[in-house]
Amino acid sequence: MKIAILTRTGFHHASFINRLQEEFEIACVVRESYPEQKKDNPSKSFLKKIGIGLTQDEIFLNGFYEKYSAGFRHHSGLKEYLKAPFDVVIEKKSTKYLGINCGDINSPDIEVFLKDIAPDIIVVLGSSIIKLNILTIPKIAMMNIHTGLSPYYRGTWSYGWPIVNKEPEYIGVTLHHVNSGIDSGDIIYQTRPMLNVHDDLNTIFLKVVSEGIELAVMAVKEILKNGSIRSYKQPVSKEFISKAPSPCGEDNAPAFGTPSLPKRGKGELISPPLRGGPACPVGRDEGEGDVCGFTNDLSSNTGRLYLAKDFNAEIARRCLSNLEEGILETYIQKKDQFDSRVKLSGFIPPQITK
């Protein structure tokens, strides 16, 4: 069978490619660039860097992104959790590698390229939202790693919002078939990472994405062995979703089925993400949003769908505050009780236990 990979250019994407290449012969790898950030003139960039002319929220968010996005590339957890090399893609002679601009994943040229490859399986981590012309190309399956537990948390930054909402039992990863919705395809596997009280946003993301990569490896092996793979329909009724308040704190989140839309005050900044970082609440593998033209999908009334516009300084502060106040310690102390409130499909025990 022919296997193709659609992904981006970050460190965890490189590890994703290398990990699959360790196990399988890959026909092609398509790497989509991150969106270009608007560049200021040098003098304006310098003033921003030292904080002149910025609001308090802007200064806070710059520091937040610096620590949990740009700082990600220096994090010790890269070596600890990512099983395969992450600093460079180890190219194989038998594999075709193609780099494309952000948003070109659905272009006619890529459609022709993939049709010529004729893959049986496509595995996705981090691409823009994939449209029907590409969805229909693989003969057996197109599978995506979503760094959240669908359908409860869909969209962007799905490992961060459960912390904001004091629901750490919803931190996890879903491997699902790709359809035309946002993280709404049939579920293949789900798991939760092994968290500890010292985890920060960087280590939480690394644990989640590392578990997701291992789920993808398991799924491809099953398809190669059996020719198909079992999957589970995502719940389409609110009756399937736990409505109990989170045991980790007051139930300060909206009811399932309505995305949280925080109010924005005058001067409040929705800051663009630094390229390639896990804490940025946009970007497909950070929550499956299309940063090149996000399409809001409210056709499903299950779970919460978060968009990039829902993130701001208030949300970032709440997330860090909840971590500092010991939300993970509370969760870990009664983990089985908390986890039992969340129905998962195709559950696989975590493969990375550090």
User: What's the CA gap between 213 and 77, in Å, rounded?
Assistant: 15
Residue 349 domain flag: no
CA distances from 260 to 171, 252, 309, 312, 344 (A): 17, 10, 10, 12, 22
CA 342 to chain centre: 19
Question: In 201-275, which ranges are continuous DSSP H helix?
Answer: 201-226
344 lies in some domain:
no
Under a CB-based contact definition with an 8 Å cutoff, are residues 58 and 269 in contact?
Answer: yes
Q: Which domain holds residue 246?
A: 3-339
Note whether 319 and 310 are within 8 A (CB): no
Question: Does 347 reside within a domain?
Answer: no
What's the total number of domains in the chain? Answer: 1
Counted residue by residue, the chain has a size of 354
CATH (domain of 97): 3.40.50.170
pLDDT for the residue numbered 254: 29
> Do 111 and 136 touch, CB atoms closer than 8 A?
no
- Residue partners of 316: CB distance under 8 A and separation at least 6: 60, 61, 64
> Cα dihedral sign for 54, 56, 58, 60?
positive
Residue among 136, 142, 99 at smallest CA distance from 122: 142
Regions of the chain short of the pLDDT cut 70: 37-53, 70-72, 236-302, 354
pLDDT, residue 71, reads: 58
| CA gap 111, 137 in Å, rounded | 8
**3-class SS letters over 173-221:** EEEEECCCCCCCCCEEEEECCCCCCCCCHHHHHHHHHHHHHHHHHHHHH
pLDDT of residue 84: 87
Question: Within a domain: residue 345?
Answer: no
How many distinct helices (H) and strands (E) make up the chain?
Answer: 11, 9
Is 233 inside a domain boundary? yes
352 in a domain, yes or no?
Answer: no
Residue 60 lies in a domain: yes
For residue 351, being part of any structural domain is answered with no
What are the beta bridge partners of residue 31?
7, 99
What's the CA angle centered on 94, arms 90 and 100, to 5 degrees?
65
